[in-house]
Copies of this chain bind each other. A is one copy, B any other.
Amino acid sequence: MNPLTTLVEARFDPHCHNKYATLMATGNGALGVRATHEEPYTTQTRGMFLAGLYHGAGEGETNELVNLPDLVGMDIELNGDIFSLLSGEILAYRRELHFESGALTREVLWRSPQGQRFAINSARFVSAARLGFLGLRLAITPLDGTATIRVATGIDATQTNSGRQHLAERELRVFENSYLQGRYRTLDNVSDVILGCACRVSPQAQVSFSAKNRRLLQHTQQTVGKGEPFTLEKCAWVCASLDGPDDNAVAPALTALRACVSAGFDALLAESLQARRNWWLHARVEVQGTCSQDQQALDFALYHLHAMTPRHDERSSIAAKGLTGEGYKGHVFWDTEVFLLPFQLHTAPQIARQLLRYRWLNLAGAKRKAARGGWQGALFPWESARSGDEETPAFAAINIRTGERQKVASAEAEHHLVADIAWAVAAYGQATGDEVFMAREGRALLEETARFWLSRAQAVNGRLELLNVIGPDEYTEHINNNAYTSYLAHDNVRLACELRRHLCVPDDDFTAQCEDFLARLYLPAPRADGVIPQDDTFFSKPDIDLTRYREHAGNQSVLLDYSRAEVNDMQILKQADVVMLLYMLPWRFDTGTLAANLDYYEPRTIHDSSLSKAIHGIVAARCGRCDDAYRFWRAGCEIDLGNAPHSSDDGIHAAATGAIWLGAVQGFAGISVKQGLLCVTPSLPPHWQRLAFPFCWQGSTLRFVITQDTVTVVCDRPVTLLINDVVVVAKGETAFVLSDPAVRKEAQ
Contact = CB atoms under 8 A, between A and B. Distances in A.
B168 A157 contact: no
A336 interface: no
Contacts of A508: none
A42 interface: yes
A408 interface: no
Contacts of A40: 42
Interface string A153-182: 000011110111100100111100000000
Q: Which 8 A-B pairs have the closest CB atoms?
A: A158-B163, A162-B213, A40-B42, A86-B86, A165-B165, A86-B87, A163-B214, A174-B400
Given A41-B42, A168-B60, A84 B86 contact: yes
Interface string A210-248: 010111100000000000000000000000000000000
A59 B40 CA distance: 30
Nearest to A176: B401
B82 A14 contact: yes
Given A171-B398, A398-B171, A164 B214 contact: yes
B58 A187 contact: yes
A398 B40 CA distance: 27
A159 B163 contact: yes
Nearest to A216: B400
A41 B174 CA distance: 30
Nearest to A43: B82
Contact of A165 (B163, B209, B213, B216): B163
A15 interface: yes
Interface in A115-161: 157-160
A57 interface: yes
Given A57-B165, A165-B163, A165-B165, A171 B87 contact: no
Given A43-B82, A174-B401, A165 B164 contact: yes
A60 B14 CA distance: 39
A404 to B, nearest CB: 10
A172 B400 contact: yes
Given A158-B160, A162-B214, A171 B42 contact: no
A403 interface: yes
- Count this chain's copies in the assembly: 2
A559 interface: no
Interface residues of A, number: 43
Contacts of A401: 173-174, 209
Contacts of A157: 163
Given A82-B14, A211-B397, A163 B162 contact: no
Interface in A610-638: none
A160 B168 contact: no
Nearest to A170: B60
Interface string A76-100: 0000101010110000000000000
A168 B86 contact: no
Contacts of A209: 400-401
Nearest to A15: B82
Nearest to A44: B42
A61 interface: yes
14 contacts: A58-B168, A58-B187, A59-B189, A159-B163, A163-B165, A164-B165, A164-B214, A165-B165, A171-B398, A172-B400, A173-B401, A173-B403, A211-B397, A216-B400
Given A397-B211, A400-B173, A403-B173, A160 B162 contact: no
A59 B169 CA distance: 10
Contact of A162 (B84, B158, B187): B158
Contacts of A58: 168, 187
A306 to B, nearest CB: 28
Given A164-B165, A171-B398, A213-B326, 14 more contacts: A14-B82, A15-B80, A41-B42, A57-B168, A59-B187, A60-B168, A86-B86, A157-B163, A158-B160, A158-B162, A158-B163, A164-B214, A173-B400, A174-B401
A78 B84 CA distance: 20
Nearest to A209: B400
Nearest to A397: B211
B174 A165 contact: no
A682 to B, nearest CB: 44
A728 B59 CA distance: 68
A475 B165 CA distance: 36
A222 B248 CA distance: 59
